[in-house]
Amino acid sequence: MNTTRQGLLIVISGPSGVGKGTVTKEFLSRNTNAELSVSATTRARRPQEIEGVNYFFKTQEEFKRMIDNDEFLEYMQVFGMNFYGTPRAFVEEKLAQGRDIVLEIDVNGAMKVKKAYPEAVTIFIAPPTMSDIKSRLYGRGTENESAIDRRYREAFEEMQYIRKYDYVVVNDIIDRAVKAVCSIAEAEKSKVSRNNDLIQYYDEELKSND
């Protein structure tokens, strides 16, 4: 039983202001076998950013060629400008090495990934209540009222997708939410459907004892 076991592809979504970034970061810090996926983007590299660590930086032509070659698990264009996408090859190589890969993406991206890769584990981070979202968005104090209103309307729309996810984790207490995500990752590894190699190993042992 020394075959490398396929890693998990974990998709984390949730509305703006729900704290999914904090949950993801804390999950990664408690799971050394898990890492965040590196996206490709057409936006300009900022001084402190490192190619292949923060992003894979691409020109518009390169990105479009990758789209044509079906090299993305999902991608999106923000406000008709820059592209962002999850490179299929990067994810598949890591999974084959047994690493768990986390994608923190929006509901549309999540649905595309689940379609392309049905074994993906999709987790929706939800607020205790919707008014909680509103106060968190206002509490940030970094945006004007119309930007907050837009985010709040988007949050409403994202919430309609919960039923399409595998799991829903309420982020009421951050430590509890992170533990729930850790449990989901651990439990998924025990699923019979993810343990074909193990079961085949027993089958062979059983046969050789007949």
Contact string (CB under 8 A) for its own copies, positions 130-149, x = contact: xx------------------
Among 37, 165, 171, 178, binds its own copies (CB under 8 A): 165
Beta carbons within 8 Å of 159's beta carbon, 6+ residues apart = 15, 126, 130
173 binds its own copies (CB under 8 A): no
For its own copies, the closer of residues 55 and 165 by Cβ is 165
Among 129, 150, 173, 174, binds its own copies (CB under 8 A): 129
Q: Please, which residues bridge with residue 96 across strands?
A: none
Using an 8 Å Cβ cutoff, are 58 and 66 in contact? Answer: yes
Q: What minimum distance in Å lies between the beta carbon of 109 and its own copies?
A: 18
Token pair of 110, please?
């999540």
* Rounded Cα distance, 128 and 148, in Å: 19
Three-state DSSP class for residue 113: helix
**Which residues of this chain interact with its own copies, rule CB under 8 A?**
123-124, 126, 129-131, 156, 159-160, 162-163, 165-170, 179-180, 182-184, 186-188, 190-192, 195, 198-199, 202, 205-206, 209
